[in-house]
Copies of this chain bind each other. A is one copy, B any other.
Amino acid sequence: MPLVKFIPQNKEIDVVTGTNLLKAADDAGLYIEGDCAGKGTCGKCRVKITDGSCGEATAAEIKHLSKAELKAGWALACQRTVEGNCTIEVPVQKDAHTRKTTLAGGVEILQAEAAVEKIAVKLSRPAVKDQTADLERLLAELKRGELQVKPRELTNFPSMLRKNSYSVTTAVSGNRILSIEPGDTTDQLYGVAFDIGTTTIVGSLIDLNSAKVIAVAAVTNPQNIYGADVISRITHASQSKDGLKQLQDKVIEAVNKILHDLLRKTKIARDRIYEVIAVGNTTMSHLFMGIDPTYLAPAPFIPAYSKALEVEAAEIRIRINPSGRVIFLPNIAGYVGSDTVGVILAADLDQPGDNCAAIDIGTNGELVLRANGKLMACSTAAGPAFEGAQIKQGMRAAAGAIETVSYLKGRIELGMIDDAPACGICGSGLIDAASALLDAGLVEPSGRFVNPEENPDKVPAQFKDRLRRGEGGYEFILVSGKDSETGEDIVISQGDLRELQLAKGAINAGLMILLKEAGISVKDLDRVLLAGAFGNYVRKESALGIGLLPQMPAEKIIAIGNAAGDGARMALASMTMRKRAFTLPKTVIHMELSTRPDFQEFFVDALPFRKMQ
């Protein structure tokens, strides 16, 4: 079988002739980014064939790659197949979260109040006069009433007792013994909170004795080889043989990789992790638990379940203490998942308070509104544009992404992540760019570029060379090829602006519906919380400038970080928070937008770049 070598990662794999390169990379344990599930439409899975041959360039590659690039060996991994031994260079992608994950996030963890209790005891020795069985001896000393225990926990219990002079520590959760350990291990009590994003999975290791975060790790969600968005993954789960299993395997594998990283960093023993709490959108939750998500896709968008599901770690192959518990927080609706439950918890929105909206823009966008004693939520198909999908040169927030664009004193200034040469534009850069182009008068509030041929005087002289006609209308050159990483011009196109308008319109319209149902208007809003990594990096002025956020003093727009993950950590560390999370599906009012005629009205009304009020 041909040998495929991936550099600079130095991963090798033998595959059968004809194997797709994207598949080969996946089999070798390498994740190549892409948004279109290998259809050839996103053009993002760029690799360079440095040795060997992998067939001819396809139409899709000719569209996405320049002649020079093709000649240099660049290709799209999804378009090529292995013909013999070959060496493939995979551009190193910085992890999307390297600059985004901060310990403890934006919200303080509550007082530690873990679900698992550890109790150290020293037992009396048995004798003919006291033949009490080992377990009953332990149960009597624990004084926690009737506890259930799995046979697995007892396998070596008798000899463990005797080797440790009858001193053991028991981990108890509810009425169950999770673990019996030699000696006193009460100081070793850990759990991990996971935020299972469509794009990125983040795990936080928590010391349950102190409720403190002691390590964080993240990986790209490896389900991305089946498509960037939830609909592609639902389709794969529904229509491919073993598709559901493949998707579950991928996410479990990623979770185990994060666990491995966390344990390696902290030198904590695997068996001392007793709980995993996960949040994610409803599709992620179904796929994680291996449950058919088919009926999430078509109307009326029905989840298989809503309540929190619990499963034993061993049963789902998650490598913590095998008797440990893995709990996915409940979802609210087909497109309002436990990630939103996490946001509500982290922002205390299920408690009485001011009129407050929370906007979580990830791969999908979810909105929550607490107002007039009601707690409401909805979802909008708004997210991917902000993560770089469907944007011509869009990319996620990694090194070289244009993240700030400002118009100042007649000049357009750019900022790149890590000050690296530009190679694309990320979500915050896109909003900034639109706002700057509006400010510069190059884009009209309708979202159209000024036509330089019809209105040459509207285009300032310094930008005349940068506004040009592209394939699908005009485009503005942010960085010229001579300064970019790729050697290509980095542009923002008319199509990109339209994508941004659609996303913004959906979010605006969703918020308007929630306000309408609560019986209040934009001016009654006391605060707007921006959840998610996006919220940390978007410039409020730009977001207000294009009308993405409701008009209000900038200090009332508050970025709260990865609130979904924070909520998961709270539910892990505090039983009070966990119980609150469990009740949310019954208390949150879900608004289904897709079939409301008024949604369309609000949406069309919100498309232009103008202040939202």
Contacts and interface: CB of A to CB of B under 8 A. Distances in A.
A225 B334 CA distance: 56
Interface of A: 126-128, 130-136, 139, 148-152, 154-159, 162, 244, 289-292, 294-295, 299-307, 309-311, 314-316, 331, 333-334, 585, 590, 592, 594-595
A305 to B, nearest CB: 4
Contacts of A149: 305, 309
A300 B592 contact: no
A135 B300 CA distance: 15
24 contacts: A126-B300, A128-B592, A128-B594, A131-B333, A131-B334, A133-B305, A133-B306, A134-B295, A134-B302, A134-B304, A135-B304, A135-B306, A136-B305, A148-B310, A151-B311, A155-B244, A157-B292, A157-B304, A158-B291, A158-B295, A158-B304, A159-B294, A162-B295, A314-B315
Nearest to A162: B295
A152 B292 CA distance: 10
A125 to B, nearest CB: 9
A295 B128 CA distance: 12
B135 A289 contact: no
Contacts of A305: 133-136, 149, 154
A131 B294 contact: no
A416 to B, nearest CB: 43
A289 B315 CA distance: 18
A151 B290 contact: yes
Contacts of A334: 131
Nearest to A282: B133
Given A149-B305, A158-B294, 4 more contacts: A132-B306, A152-B315, A158-B291, A158-B304
A584 to B, nearest CB: 13
A100 to B, nearest CB: 30
Contacts of A310: 148
Contact of A302 (B131, B152, B315, B333): B131
B151 A316 contact: yes
Contacts of A311: 150-151
Question: How many monomers of this chain does the complex have?
Answer: 2
Contacts of A139: 307
A151 B302 contact: no
Nearest to A137: B302
A291 B156 CA distance: 7
A304 B159 CA distance: 9
A218 to B, nearest CB: 24
A328 to B, nearest CB: 9
A333 to B, nearest CB: 6
Given A131-B333, A294-B159, A151 B289 contact: yes
A315 B162 CA distance: 27
Given A134-B305, A592-B131, A157 B294 contact: no
Contacts of A292: 154-159
Nearest to A333: B131
Nearest to A301: B131
A157 B291 contact: yes
Which residue of A128, A151, A301, A585 has the most chain B CB atoms within 10 A of its CB atom? A151
A132 B134 CA distance: 48
Contacts of A148: 310
A151 B309 contact: yes
Given A152-B290, A158-B295, A289-B154, A304 B131 contact: no
Nearest to A147: B307
